[in-house]
Structures are given as C-alpha cells and as structure tokens.
Amino acid sequence: MINLFQPDLTQHPPRSLRVRLGGYAHLPRLLDKARAEIVGKNGDYHYNCPVDERFFAFTGIDPAAMLAAVKDGKTDTEMLTWVNEHCSRLPHEIVAWSTWLEQNGPGGVEGHEWIAGVIKRNAAERTDIRSFADLLDLDDYVSYGGKG
C-alpha cells in the first residue's frame, strides 16, 4: 500500500503536476517530493527543482520555510492553509498560473533538444508530448515500468 504521508519515491512517482490542491497545480507533487526527501526516500526526485522553483517564484514562498512546515507533519489540507497564509495571490491568479504551468513547454533550443531526447528514449512514436507536464507524466510512467 502506498503511504502518501511518507511517500517512497523509489517505489512510485509523486503525484502528477496536473493534480491541484486549492487550485495550485504542482503543489501535491511538491509536497510528495518534500515528504520523501524528509524520510530519505526521494530517489531521483529533487525538492526545489526548476519546476518547484516556478511555484516558489509565483507564490513568494521560501523553499526552506515550506520544507520546515512539511517537517512539522502537516497534512495536505494543513499545508494548503499554510501556503495560503504565505501567499497573497488571488484565486483567479492561481487558476491562470496553474493553467499556464500545465501548458508550459521548452522555450529555447536547449529545452527543445532535451525534451526531444526524453521522448526519443521513452516513446519515439508519440506526437502528443508538448509541455513539461506531458513529459513529466510520461517520464514518471516509464520510470516505473510503463511502456510509453
């Protein structure tokens, strides 16, 4: 059985970037990675990676402060309350940012080359991988035995 309160990301991936909590895309994934890091079971996943940094930049939340709050054992609901206390974004801004994050893709040549390499390795026949969210979902799936 998967314990989402102390996820073992060596056994399963974190939740998808598309899963929302309080309207925030990526927040559940971020919490999974933070909890896994705390218990030393983050595998190849890294807390405060570039996608996490986008969340922190949007919310103005300090990554170390959030990790400390997670270490206190807060549930998803309690963490949502904590995030809302530390972020002054309006609901429509959260929805717009979350929609943007789900659709965001590589902007430059390096990003396009990197995403193309991952697709080529994992599912060369796929033509629907356009965003980083698509790529993360594919990579999470094939990393744990799925066929792209």
The residue among 115 and 14 whose pLDDT is bigger is 14
Write the DSSP string, 2-16.
--TTS--TTTSPPPP
pLDDT greater than 80 at residue 78? yes
Residue-wise pLDDT for 97-139, tens only, equals 999 999 998 888 988 898 899 899 889 999 999 899 999 999 9
Domain count, the chain: 2
pLDDT band at 25 (very low <50, low <70, confident <90, very high): very high
Q: State both tokens at 132.
A: 């980083």
Angle at 59 between CA 61 and CA 66, to 5 degrees: 30
pTM: 0.92
- Average pLDDT over every residue of 14-32: 97
> 148 is in which domain, residue-wise?
105-148
Residue 34 half-sphere exposure toward CB, CA atoms < 13 A: 23
Cβ proximity of 41 and 125 under 8 Å: no
- Average pLDDT over every residue of 60-81: 97
pLDDT greater than 90 at residue 147? no
Tell me whether residue 43 is in a domain.
yes
Tell me whether residue 142 is in a domain.
yes
Same domain (yes/no): 72, 13 = yes
Phi-psi region of 40 (alpha: psi -120 to 50; beta: other; left: phi over 0): left
Same domain (yes/no): 26, 76 = yes
